[in-house]
Structure 1
Amino acid sequence: MTNATALNATLDALRVIRGRKLKGRVEEVLKTRTHEDFNTFSCEALTLGMEGIPGDLHSGFSRCSGGREPWYPRGTEMCNERQISVLSIEELAVIAGRMEISQLHAGWIGGNISVSGIPSLSLIPPRTRLVFEGGAVVRVDGDNAPCRYAGKSIAKHFREREGLDLLFPKVARRLRGLVGFVERPGVVKAGEEVTAHVPEQWIYDPA
């Protein structure tokens, strides 16, 4: 089989899932109080610039690599694709249920925007554009892997429980929301509509 024949066969067998638009609602907007904070706190409006949220812990055009990027030496300057954290209130409720705690607030794990109404938010693919009613646009980089650091933050609110820091990464996988970067600046407020412009998708399997 020639390379061209093999490629044509692959394309003929490819299952493409069409792009779509999904609408949701912004429930809360949050930001850090200082550049050193991890926890975020509710605010009236969130101003998004090309660098992210001015003054926020994760703002900036670039960032230093960490444990999530083992292919670079730790501390390597790289593009900041993690400016914004977007969480689903439905998924937060599922995580809380799995952890057997009364609630899980977006601010405890550093969320910037909590939304409702978008099914399986954390599974939304990269390249999705989150278009907010006020005009701001966040481009999704991917899902946000849960970590023990966030688990420790949760544990501070339930000091009578042991092991919550380790439990969170186990039960929150593919439920911890999305990270992305600002594609178009603007202001985001609670109560406004958000539309996820999901691109067409396929599974890349060169075998």
Structure 2
Amino acid sequence: MLDLFDADSGEIVIRPAKKLLGRAAGVFLAPADHFETRPVDALDITFEGIAGDYHAGNTRRSGGREPWYPRGTEMRNERHLSIVAPDELAGIAARMGIEEVKPEWIGANLLIDGVPQLSMLPAGTMLFFKNGVTLKVDGQNVPCRVAGRSVAVNAGMNDHEAGSLLFPKVARRLRGLVAWVEKPGRIEAGEDVSVRIPEQWIYPT
């Protein structure tokens, strides 16, 4: 079937699909009662997310990220895992004037190294882990004040409130991604991951 759009017409931009290779430099689990995570050797992944993790479940309650629903509305859970990159965390730390931002402080489950501009991977990107797990990116993880306060406290900032306000400003488009489970299994620290970016297009205005 012929394409309906001329990619060179100036009305629409189409970028071809591509593949990248990264590595799970760290894996982290959140206790069932708190969003902050701790490093572990491996994650057991089910169709509900990470077994025993704070964000596990087929559904979740809406919050500030979903203003179109009353807060607390039950909805599908597309936020099974939070994924961050070491270079982007370093960039956030520099902007906040602190030494580091650890993945655990902001509730990250995966630290993926080797993928440039991880937070800019588009929705629909698929992550194929060497041991068999497949994750699908839902979108960017919008930074919030709760994570900001955790950073401020753990980094030893003098003004925790100022830190909680600063984080959402400087971490936008650097705070990583959220993804849901397409194929369960086990993810181990150090495991290779194939990143498959789908064909992308910009919807014409």
Higher strand share: 2
> Quick one: which amino acid aligns to residue 167 of structure 1?
L
Report deviation, 1:10.
8.4
Q: Is residue 106 of structure 2 the alignment partner of residue 85 of structure 1? A: no
**Where do residues 117-136 of structure 1 align in structure 2 (5 Å cutoff)?**
117-136=114-133
**2:70 equivalent in structure 1:** 73
Find the aligned partners of 1:106 and 1:84 in 2 and give their Cα distance. Answer: 12
Which amino acid letter does the alignment assign opposite residue 166 of structure 1? Answer: L
Give the match for residue 60 of structure 1: 57
- Any gaps of 5 or more consecutive residues in structure 1? 1-6
Structure 1: how far apart are the matches of 2:164 and 2:201?
A: 35
Give matches, 1:1-207, under 5 Å. 12=9, 13-33=11-31, 35-162=32-159, 163-205=162-204, 207=205
Give the greater-gyration-radius structure (CA). Answer: 1
Instruction: Quote how far apart the aligned CAs of 1:8 are.
Output: 5.3
TM-score by length of 1: 0.92
RMSD: 1.5
Amino acid at match of 1:73: P
**Alpha-carbon distance, 1:198 to partner:** 0.3
Indicate conservation of the 8 Å contact 2:49/2:55, yes or no.
yes
Tell me the secondary structure at the aligned position of residue 107 of structure 1: helix
**Contact 2:136–2:182 (CA under 8 A) maintained in structure 1:** yes
Deviation per residue, 1:79-116 (Å, 9 max, x gap): 10001001101111111111111111000000000011
Whole-angstrom CA distance in 2 between matches of 1:9 and 1:22:
27
Give identity over the alignment, percent. 48
Q: Structure 2 vs 1, CA of residues 73 and 20 (structure 1 numbering), >3 Å: closer, same or farther?
A: same
Counterpart secondary structure, 1:202: strand
CA contact (8 A) 2:60 2:76 kept: yes
Contact 2:12 2:201 in 1 (8 A): yes
Aligned residue-pair number: 199
1:102–1:17 distance in 2 versus 1, CA, 3 Å: same
Q: Distance in 1 between matches of 2:6 and 2:179?
A: 35
Superposed CA offset, 1:130-185 (max 9, x none): 11111101100000000000000011123342211111111000000000100000
Is contact 2:135-2:182 (8 Å) kept? yes
Contact 2:7 2:13 in 1 (8 A): no
Q: How far has the Cα of 1:119 moved from its partner?
A: 0.5
CA–CA distance in structure 2, aligned partners of residues 30 and 155 of structure 1: 20
Distance in 2 between the 1:10 and 1:199 partners?
16
Q: Distance in 2 between matches of 1:42 and 1:74?
A: 31
Alpha carbons 2:89, 2:102 under 8 Å: kept: yes
